[in-house]
Amino acid sequence: MTTNVPLPSTPDVDVQERRAWTMPGPIGLLGIVVAVGLIALGIHQTQAENLPLGPILIGVGAVLLAVLASGLCILSPGEAKVLEFLGSYIGTVRKPGLWFVVPFVVQKKVSVKVHNFETHELKVNDADGNPINIAAIVVWQVADTAQAKYAVEDHIDFVRVQSEAALRHIAMSHPYDNQDTTITLRGDTEVIAKEMADEVAARIALAGLRVVETRISSLAYASEIAQAMLQRQQAAAIIAAREKIVEGAVSMVQDALNQLEAADVVVLDDERRAAMVSNLLVVLCGDSRATPIVNAGSLYQ
């Protein structure tokens, strides 16, 4: 009989970054110089056939040189080193320069510079079920060097995979473009970028990483529906333009009739008023220029 065991939401490695013990590097260099001097003195004593003292000085100098040399730590700007002694994490060195640390530790370099990468262009369905192609740029940085080194296998690859998963989830949660929805992928890029930054940050926090910024770099309908969606957008634009034209034409006709009646230019009955309204709307709403026709007859023939 098997049981379903829920996966842990956090890694089993419970480690937090802490500052490692350090000492200024020049002190270690001075000790190395002393060790080299002891070795040289021991060699000189051996050559002088003073056997008991010579080998002792050489041995002490060699041990001291090995200890001091193994404790030197050189850091460049934008780098940190995680120190591990006998399989245990003992601290992190972040300040650039030459330092002397605990001898015989394993020094693992971790970049704390700001990184950025662009996700692959993903093909997903938006909230309306339309296939779209989307990609994003993620800017991130290591915040906790210990977690980045021990909580996940490869923190750089971890960021890539989790960013693409977050992008896919965000794209499926909102429509590409929908007038009835407050948030869309195309019309609310700032809101979408903020949502993605929050989701990526939540996903990679367990690895000691933080998100600086996210941006949508590519967004388009998939090729199989791109032409149809373009026609839909054009139709929507035409309808919106027609509505504006009709609204303006009705207002102009109303103003014209009111001015004619107010100035007693002509008295129109219902039939003549309807004919004038029809003619004015045709002239104002038509796609091409209207050709004027002079009516020499009467409306009541």
Question: What is the average pLDDT across 181-204?
Answer: 88
Digit-coded pLDDT (tens) for 118-136:
988 888 888 888 888 899 9
pLDDT > 90: percent of the chain: 27
The answer on pLDDT for 36 being more than 70 is: yes
Mean pLDDT of the chain: 80
Q: What CA–CA distance (Å, rounded) separates 87 from 90? A: 9
What token pair was written down for 270? 């219902």
Pairing mode, strands 122-125 and 106-111: unpaired
Q: Can you point out the beta strands (E) in the chain?
A: 23-24, 72-75, 79-85, 88-93, 97-100, 106-111, 115-118, 122-125, 131-142, 209-221
Task: Please check whether residue 139 is in contact with residue 213, taking contact to mean a CB–CB distance below 8 angstroms.
Answer: yes
| Domain boundary assignment for the chain | 22-111, 114-223, 226-285
| pTM of the predicted protein model | 0.67
Q: What CA–CA distance (Å, rounded) separates 230 from 174? A: 19
Question: What is the average pLDDT across 290-299?
Answer: 60
Q: In the prediction, which pLDDT does 2 show?
A: 38
Q: In the prediction, which pLDDT does 8 show?
A: 41
Digit-coded pLDDT (tens) for 5-20:
344 455 555 788 899 8
What are residue 142's phi and psi, to 5 degrees?
-75, 125
> What's the topology of domain 114-223?
Tetrahydropterin Synthase; Chain A (3.30.479)
The answer on pLDDT for 272 being more than 80 is: no
Question: What is the average pLDDT across 31-37?
Answer: 82
Digit-coded pLDDT (tens) for 40-92:
777 777 766 655 677 777 787 788 888 888 888 899 999 999 999 988 899 99
**pLDDT classification of 3: cutoffs 50, 70, 90:** very low
The answer on pLDDT for 174 being more than 70 is: yes
Helix (H, G, I), strand (E, B), or coil: what is residue 187? Answer: coil
Question: What is the average pLDDT across 163-179?
Answer: 87
What token pair was written down for 59? 């041995």
pLDDT > 70: percent of the chain: 79
Task: Please check whether residue 207 is in contact with residue 142, taking contact to mean a CB–CB distance below 8 angstroms.
Answer: no
Mean pLDDT is lowest, of 74-83, 138-147, 198-207, 288-297, for 288-297
Q: In the prediction, which pLDDT does 1 show?
A: 38
Digit-coded pLDDT (tens) for 228-265:
667 666 667 777 777 777 777 788 877 777 777 777 66
Q: In the prediction, which pLDDT does 128 show?
A: 81
Question: What is the average pLDDT across 201-208?
Answer: 91
**pLDDT classification of 166: cutoffs 50, 70, 90:** very high
